[in-house]
Structure 1
């Protein structure tokens, strides 16, 4: 396997938490190797005293017993130090695609803070493996410290009980005792944290198969060598001498050389943090981007995504509204139309609800869950639903189970066809204690919204309902004249052959108009008794497909 190229099995660990919780201090206490973007080296980070960009560093440990079957001698943890400030959430969620595990840093003196919920959402989207670090325990009075730490763990456990991280491990540390770096100020509890992280590493091996996808987060020129693209391998593998593509720039380059944390290697594979050197590339025109096997990553202006609503998001998500959509490191505005399986489909409401609950969080991790069948009928939704919804009738088109969004982007997007999708409402005031992440999921299909032929492939319908009443029953009880459903100028022939239902459940068929006042004739399958005064209501329910070439076509 390709991991033998450098004998290291790499695991990417996102370090997230509220601003000033001590994330970067914790990273500094753990790290033995630093990348060119580590520990707030950005000049503005130093000036403002907060993390402004993703930082990368690493440390290694011997392979634990449960990973001895892997063809590597050393386990490396690459720490992805994410900003904590609310205004930098785009940078944080851009890092979600590259992490395997997560450390949530909580200031033990403050507990859960405003952005902690957003960090938890990012964690649920990105991974199943979380370790909570209670930092700054040195600030607690020594005589009551154990009791206060225990109390803080219980409070956090109650919060996490409603998430996929229920029962996750918690470690108390002091990354920077006394706030200084002098003698006697070495970090406390870090060894226990390292042991816990090693136990949490999944035993499944990396995959070298599939297209090479490399998420670039930094780019710089190296005099006499070329341009270095640093990032994380999302899938597949690449070797020195291979041709790679920068699809957004429409450029192809050959890999001149490659390093993993300043160590030259001949190849990299899924999960590796690497630097790839190419020639004749201006670093000023490349920011965060995707690098791939030539032809593997398309550019598109609309897509269908399998989505789930974020449970912490409290606002409404109406169809046809604009949201900020993040795919990798790219965030663009998009109009979202929501739809899902109607009641009466092959999946019962109870089974669909169970399916939804079981796949919370998994949707973002498993691209195979984001299947989309163009031959299926889908019910248009006025808004994206959460698990708190209740089942309604077929006529409302509301369901339990999978939901999708048709995303029409304000500008073309370049991303893998099964890319992780995060929808947000960044226009919400960042100073308010509210979650701005609204939904998450995976791309399930690409579509050209400007091509009517392609749009007609989407069998999304809206349910329409009209009500009227029986005006007069004929003596045979099998036919009637009805009124109140149509205006006198309505062409009733459009509705001929459609089924109607009486208040007591009798099914009839519209035969045609009766006179010129909007009345119409209905024939019933079984005899209907003459209605009592104030009764005799009938209902017509039908579907109109939004993208049907014949806008007037009616279906039942």
Structure 2
């Protein structure tokens, strides 16, 4: 096993966290239903199946969004989803114009055994940062690979990022098989994907690989490579990706992804619940880089998940929380909503990091003290400074090193020992690590 595989396996055994969440196109539409926004009552959210967060990752134009649309259409035919076509998933005008997905899109569907929250992640290199969030929220992933191309740069980067943020299980969908006539080409794609998965610490030899055409499934053509393969894919996801154990016993914490206002109602924050359980009319704190430097106290007056009203929000949910007496400008992405007195904002941490090699997508050269990269902790995106605990200004860190350093963020962030973070520079991940101690 490679150095990075060992390091990422170590990281994957620690508590999971979010890193960065992009602003989606229409947050009110995504999180709070029009009925709730208009003071009506939304449909109740039913918890009658285990809930799992999955998503599609992979290179640009390999068919991730088409596959997502095909899954919703096929599951809708069984009464297990609402069909969303390609245009509904790619909502932003610039997405449709360029034919790529920029922000992550959240979709809901079910199988006979489970309820899924599905994230369709962007594959374009310019928006790779936005993909980090999608992977951080996943319990498992479907990596989409075009049979005509095989693995490509974003295939590899998405798998690396998924491993860094703790995704344990991957299912492979080899798409566009109708464009390949030579069966040996498909065998080569499978062989390369199994080797690639193994190189990043996944179970390459055992990982399910499904061959099909998402477009055929979407257009009801060639069921042998269309809808039948969607069925096979969903069965693989049901069986290969385990039902996660949610951290329900710890105090509630949700990283703030988006903030918006509903006229006449108040301010809504949305994000994925990291731990705990929250009921309506419960006191909470907003923790992070507040204007006063202190947590903001408020009460949650309404909760929604997938445009459905909920009495509670629990670990693993993607929820919208309506807050009492809070102005939109008081809250920013990167803060957290937490149970009172359960977490604090800090800006100086002792960290343990693995520095990626150039072959792993990292830097070609090392760096020294006072290195100033971008740091991603939960949904926070902060400028940071790295130095050595002993104050050594001459020491250098080289790609491939495991190193202990002091991280100072320019603004306080809600982070604790065991929290995972990524360091990026120039559009690439250069290091990944864990916070080991808060430095007072």
Structure 2: how far apart are the matches of 1:283 and 1:52?
A: 25
Q: Cα 1:96–1:319, aligned 2, differ >3 Å: closer, same or farther?
A: farther
Residue pair 1:296, 1:416 contacting (<8 A) in 2 also = no
> Do structure 1's residue 124 and structure 2's residue 170 form an aligned pair?
no
Cα offset, 1:266, TM superposition: 1.1
Separation (CA, whole Å) in 1 of partners of 2:124 and 2:172: 19
Match for residue 474 of structure 1? none
Pair 284,30 (structure 1): closer, same or farther in 2 beyond 3 Å: farther
Structure (1 or 2) with the larger CA radius of gyration:
1
Q: Is the 8 A contact 2:388 2:405 kept in 1?
A: yes
1:142-291 to 2 correspondences below 5 Å: 144=182, 146-165=183-202, 166-167=204-205, 168-177=207-216, 182=219, 184=221, 187-188=226-227, 189-203=229-243, 205-248=245-288, 249=290, 250-283=295-328, 286-289=331-334, 290-291=336-337
Q: For the Cα contact (< 8 Å) 2:345–2:414, is it kept in 1?
A: yes
Deviation per CA, 1:306-359, whole angstroms, max 9, x where unpaired? 2223350252332212222111222222222357xxxxxxxxxxxxxxxxxxxx
Alpha-carbon offset, residue 295 of structure 1: 3.4
Identify the residue that residue 549 of structure 1 maps to in structure 2: none
What SS class does the counterpart of residue 83 from structure 1 fall into? coil
Shift in alpha-carbon separation, 1:381–1:194, aligned structure 2, 3 A: farther
Give the number of equivalent residue pairs.
369
- Correspondence 1:98-497 to 2 at 5 A: 98-126=137-165, 127-141=167-181, 144=182, 146-165=183-202, 166-167=204-205, 168-177=207-216, 182=219, 184=221, 187-188=226-227, 189-203=229-243, 205-248=245-288, 249=290, 250-283=295-328, 286-289=331-334, 290-311=336-357, 312=360, 313-320=362-369, 321-337=371-387, 382-385=395-398, 403-409=403-409, 411-418=410-417, 419-426=419-426, 436-448=428-440
The answer for the alignment partner of 1:374 in structure 2 is: none
Quote the Cα distance in structure 1 between the aligned partners of 2:388 and 2:99: 42
Residue 241 of structure 1, CA deviation: 1.1
Aligned-residue offset at 1:44: 3.0
Q: Structure 1 191/287 Cα, relative in aligned 2: closer, same or farther at 3 Å? A: farther
Deviations 1:99-129 (A, max 9, x none): 2112222222111212222211111112111
Q: Distance in 2 between matches of 1:99 and 1:279?
A: 30
Shift of 1:224: 4.7
| Secondary structure at 1:405 match in 2 | strand
Q: Distance in 1 between matches of 2:142 and 2:430?
A: 22
Q: Is the 8 A contact 1:123 1:130 kept in 2?
A: no
Change beyond 3 A, Cα 1:164–1:83: same
Q: TM-score, normalised by structure 1?
A: 0.60
Counterpart Cα distance in 1 of 2:242 and 2:119: 18
Shift in Å, 1:185 = 7.6
Alignment match, 1:42 = 92
Pick one of 9, 15, 21 that aligns with 2:56.
15
Structure 2 counterpart SS, 1:198: helix
Q: Distance in 1 between matches of 2:57 and 2:65?
A: 10
SS across alignment from 2:340? coil
Kept in 2: contact 1:258–1:275 (CA 8 A): yes
Instruction: Specify the SS of the correspondent of 2:382.
Output: strand
CA–CA distance in 2 between the matches of 1:54 and 1:161?
27
Once residues 257 and 63 of structure 2 are traced to their aligned partners in structure 1, the CA distance between those partners, rounded to angstroms, is: 23
Q: In 1, distance between residues paired with 2:173 and 2:220?
A: 24
Deviations 1:532-554 (A, max 9, x none): xxxxxxxxxxxxxxxxxxxxxxx
Q: Greater relative contact order: 1 or 2 (C-alpha under 8 angstroms, separation 6 or more)?
A: 2
Give the deviation of 1:265 after TM superposition: 1.8
Where in structure 1 are there 5+ consecutive unaligned residues? 64-74, 340-376, 390-401, 431-435, 449-556
- Aligned partners of 1:237, 1:192: CA distance in 2, in Å? 34
**Structure 1 residues 445 and 182, CA gap change in structure 2 (3 angstroms):** same
**TM-score, normalised with respect to structure 2:** 0.75
> C-alpha distance in 1, partners of 2:416/2:82?
34
Taking only aligned residues, the RMSD between alpha carbons, in angstroms, comes to 3.0
- Greater fraction of residues in helix: 2
Q: CA deviation at 1:199?
A: 0.6
Pair 1:110–1:261, CA change in 2 (3 A):
same
Closer, same or farther in 2 for the Cα pair 1:88/1:276, shift >3 Å?
same
Q: 1:225 to 1:424 in 2, by over 3 A?
A: same
Contact kept? 1:305, 1:421, Cα under 8 Å: no
Deviates more, 1:19-28 or 1:37-46: 37-46
Are the aligned partners of 2:59 and 2:154 in contact in 1 as well (CA < 8 Å)?
A: yes
Deviation per residue, 1:394-430 (Å, 9 max, x gap): xxxxxxxx63221122x1131221432101222xxx5
